[in-house]
Amino acid sequence: MSTVLIVGASRGIGLETVRLARKAGHSVRALARSATAIRLHDPKLEKVDGDALDRHTIERAVVGVDVVIQTLGVSPTPELIFSGTRLFSVATRILVDAMEATTIKRLICVTGLGAGDSRGHGGLLYNAALWLFLGRSYADKDAQEWIMRRSRLDWTIVRPSVLTNGPRTGAYLVLVDARDWRSGFISRADVADFLVKQVEDTSLLRKIPMLTG
């Protein structure tokens, strides 16, 4: 079993990943600005309040872990739509630098369908909605992916399609070939299921699978 740092652990995919990682037997260090508010209690769950943009917080958080899972997300507010964000790229730069300064090499990170070379693969409606509402944010996800791909880490970049709050089913597709990439729906719990499996699975090192139901 591994010790896993989950960055962005207090909600969404991150919180589901905390639950499933503990269920799988891993020790978990959950980092988020409101980590201590997580309503899970387990002797092998360490809750760390901290900002993913704070270099010293991240440098301390990676000490003693085996694997890092980054699940940062943003809410689609009007400000985000019009101004975008640099959360993804800046936080990832800080995280990669901190990991490269240690012996920790395994990084699993969630971006999304439409980032990097998957842009345009979601179909007409998905592509139009992405450009209209999240285009600026996905430009930052492009930079985020570039930082990881240029790193010395053993990364896996995970691109889920449209997220839902449905249950974990285990019945999802893992699409590595770009010719197969397409839009669909997948629950946050199923994305978390895949992330936890990657902790001990090395078959997708330095690959970018796309997930859909």
Quick one: pLDDT at residue 135?
62
β-pair type (154-160, 45-49) = unpaired
Q: Answer yes or no: are the C-beta atoms of 190 and 174 closer than 8 Å.
A: no
Structure tokens that stand for 115 in this block:
């980032």
Quick one: pLDDT at residue 130?
65
Tell the residue number behind the tokens 């492009």, with chain if given.
142
The DSSP 8-state label assigned to residue 115 in this structure reads: B
- Whole-model pTM? 0.94
Quick one: pLDDT at residue 103?
93
Q: What number of other Cβ atoms are within 10 A of residue 200's Cβ?
A: 13
Radius of gyration of the chain (CA): 16
pLDDT band, residue 186 (cuts 50/70/90):
very high
Give which of 70, 72, 73, 84 is closest to 151, Cα–Cα: 70
CA dist 119 and 121 (Å) reads: 6
Residue 132: pLDDT over 70: no
Q: How far is CA 161 from the centre of its chain?
A: 13
More confident residue, 1 or 210: 210
What's the average model confidence in pLDDT over 119-132? 71
Provide the mean pLDDT of the chain.
93
**65 by DSSP, 3-state: which?**
coil
What type of residue sits at position 65?
V
What type of residue sits at position 10?
S
Quick one: pLDDT at residue 20?
98
Domain range summary for the chain, segments of one domain joined by +: 3-212
Quick one: pLDDT at residue 18?
98
Quick one: pLDDT at residue 184?
94
Tell me whether residue 43 is exposed, middle or buried, using C-beta atoms within 10 angstroms of its C-beta: 0 to 12, 13 to 18, 19 or more.
Answer: exposed
Over the stretch 3-31, which tens digit does the pLDDT of each residue have? 999 999 999 999 999 999 999 999 999 99
> Is the CATH number of domain 3-212 3.40.50.720?
yes
Quick one: pLDDT at residue 150?
98
Over the stretch 166-183, which tens digit does the pLDDT of each residue have? 999 999 999 999 999 999
